[in-house]
């Protein structure tokens, strides 16, 4: 019992020391707190300002449309264009000039009014040819407006014809269609959060673990405090575990802080966008989701910290450590970024994939669904991976030259020469524990 107790006491002491030392480093604290607090609001403010700016630029811009071949019959159509569809009609231009102006960006569309096709000409009918420049946004908008206008004109025209032939308004209408979104503002908010937040979450935890992980291993070697630490009267494993836990703590806390700051600031962009539709979207993380979020932070931080520290434990300088950890970092981020497809179900199969399972778990929690089997598997798989990493770390520490920093290679080389070759050649270099 005593050795285990010693292990835990030693671990706790060193863990506390690590945290205290890091918190004293003003740079880190400032960055971890100030940056989310200022950066996200600023970014989102910049985006919403950009949107406001664009709105100002484009508001009321009418589409400049040249109409060719309009006669007295077509006045109602042109009037409709101008009053209802923000179109500025320009007439009396030859076709070639109009097309040239379209290409140069001086016009947004060219409409030719042509006589109707043969075969039972109905009085008052005509055909349209609409020419636009699909590469220009204004022109595309013009096309959309013209499409809507012609659609409306056509249906009004047909309705008039029907009425003239004795069809009643009710019969003509047939039935009305009304679409309605029945999800509440909260649910909409949760949906949007669920799209962005899980990915952000993983990124922030990874970023939050990155520097502490490299600093705790390679950084210490560079500062030459590694030896001091290694010669403490505590089991070596306790030292490593304490460092590991402190890195995981930082990663988890950073992830949560950043995500909270992001959520709090998101209202800035989305609220005005949705207010147009008369809805007010709320961004609140449902209370029931918070424990799952914390669990997710914990699992993710533990896994990411473990992986990063293993990669970085071979580095002798901070910069080397960074280069060594980056591949792992990308490995984590890539799947997350691409599995952000809405509608992807959190299946049992998916819950076996590390990192992705935590992301899905968080996303589901944000929309209020809790799939217990998948959550269980996620916890299990993550825990298993963490233990595996710790086991690997213990193996690594058995080799003195790695511990003392004179092993000049990377994780790959280590695995090749020490772990695999061991079977053939015997335990060369297995040193003090």
Ranges within 32-61 binding other proteins (CB under 8 A): 34-35, 37-47, 49-61
Q: Which is nearer to other proteins, 27 or 71 (CB)?
A: 27
Instruction: Quote the strand ranges of 294-344, DSSP E.
Output: none
Count Cβ atoms below 10 Å from residue 404 Cβ, excluding itself.
Answer: 13
Interacting residues with other proteins between 381 and 420 (CB under 8 A): none
Residue 235 CB, shortest distance to other proteins, in Å, is 29
Beta pairing, strands 63-68 & 109-115: parallel
Distance (Å, whole) CA 311 – CA 393: 10
- The answer to whether 150 contacts other proteins (rule: CB under 8 A) is yes
Interacting residues with other proteins between 348 and 377 (CB under 8 A): 367
Q: Which stretch binds other proteins (CB under 8 A): 115-123, 233-241, 346-354, 386-394?
A: 115-123
Q: Which of 2, 92, 165, 425 binds other proteins (CB under 8 A)?
A: 165
Interacting residues with other proteins between 289 and 348 (CB under 8 A): 318-320, 322-324, 326-327, 330, 334, 337-339, 341-343
* 127: β partners: 114
- The answer to whether 154 contacts other proteins (rule: CB under 8 A) is yes
DSSP string of 101-167, one letter each residue: HHHHTS-SEEEEEEEPPSSSPPTT-EEEEEEE-TTSHHHHHHHHHHHHHHHHHHHHHHHHHHHHTT-
- The answer to whether 19 contacts other proteins (rule: CB under 8 A) is no
Contact call for residues 164 and 149 (beta carbons, < 8 A): no
Q: Which of 250, 283, 303, 407 binds other proteins (CB under 8 A)?
A: 283
Q: Which is nearer to other proteins, 7 or 264 (CB)?
A: 264
Interacting residues with other proteins between 210 and 269 (CB under 8 A): 211, 215, 219, 261, 264-268
* 3-class DSSP assignment, residue 86: coil
The 79-98 contact track toward other proteins, x by CB under 8 A, reads ----xxxx------------
Contact call for residues 401 and 382 (beta carbons, < 8 A): no
Q: Which stretch binds other proteins (CB under 8 A): 160-168, 287-295, 349-357, 417-425?
A: 160-168
Q: Which is nearer to other proteins, 27 or 426 (CB)?
A: 27
Q: Which of 382, 329, 339, 388 is nearest to 360 (CA)?
A: 339
Dihedral of CA atoms 363, 367, 368, 374 in degrees, nearest 10, equals -30
């Amino acid at each position: 019992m005593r050795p285990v107790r010693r292990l835990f006491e030693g671990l706790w002491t060193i863990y506390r020391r690590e945290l205290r030392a890091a918190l004293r480093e003003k740079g880190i604290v400032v960055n971890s707190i100030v940056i989310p607090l200022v950066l996200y609001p600023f970014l989102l403010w910049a985006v919403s300002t950009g949107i406001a700016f664009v709105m100002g630029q484009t508001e009321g811009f009418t589409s400049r449309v040249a109409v060719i071949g309009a006669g007295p019959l077509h006045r109602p159509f042109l009037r409709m264009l101008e009053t209802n569809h923000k179109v500025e009609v320009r007439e009396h231009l030859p076709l070639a000039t109009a097309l040239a102006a379209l290409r140069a960006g001086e016009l947004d569309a060219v409409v030719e009014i042509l006589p109707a096709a043969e075969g039972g000409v109905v009085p008052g009918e005509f055909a349209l040819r609409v020419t636009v420049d699909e590469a220009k946004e204004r022109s595309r908008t013009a096309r959309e407006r013209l499409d809507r206008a012609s659609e409306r004109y056509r249906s009004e025209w047909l309705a008039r014809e029907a009425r003239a032939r004795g069809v009643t308004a009710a019969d003509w209408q047939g039935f009305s269609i009304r679409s309605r979104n029945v999800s509440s503002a909260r649910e909409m908010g949760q949906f949007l959060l669920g799209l962005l937040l899980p990915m952000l979450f993983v990124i922030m935890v990874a970023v939050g673990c990155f520097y502490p992980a490299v600093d705790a291993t390679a950084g210490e070697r560079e500062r030459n405090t590694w030896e001091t630490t290694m010669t403490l009267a505590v089991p070596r494993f306790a030292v490593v575990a304490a460092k590991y836990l402190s890195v995981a703590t930082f990663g988890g806390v950073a992830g949560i802080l950043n995500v909270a700051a992001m959520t709090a600031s998101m209202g800035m962009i989305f609220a005005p966008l949705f207010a147009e539709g008369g809805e007010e979207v709320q961004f609140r993380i449902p209370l029931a989701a918070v424990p799952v979020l914390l669990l997710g932070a914990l699992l993710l931080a533990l896994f990411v910290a473990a992986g990063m520290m293993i990669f970085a434990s071979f580095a002798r300088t901070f910069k080397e450590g960074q280069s060594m950890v980056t591949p792992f970092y990308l490995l984590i981020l890539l799947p997350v970024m691409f599995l952000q497809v809405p509608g992807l179900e959190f299946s049992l199969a998916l819950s076996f994939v590390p990192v992705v399972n935590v992301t899905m778990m968080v996303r589901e929690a944000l929309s209020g669904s809790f799939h217990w089997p998948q959550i269980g598997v996620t916890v299990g798989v993550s825990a298993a991976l963490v233990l595996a990493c710790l086991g690997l770390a213990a193996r690594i520490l058995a080799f003195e030259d790695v511990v003392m920093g004179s092993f000049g290679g990377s994780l790959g080389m280590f695995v090749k020469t020490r772990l695999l070759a061991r079977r053939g050649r015997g335990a060369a270099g297995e040193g003090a524990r």
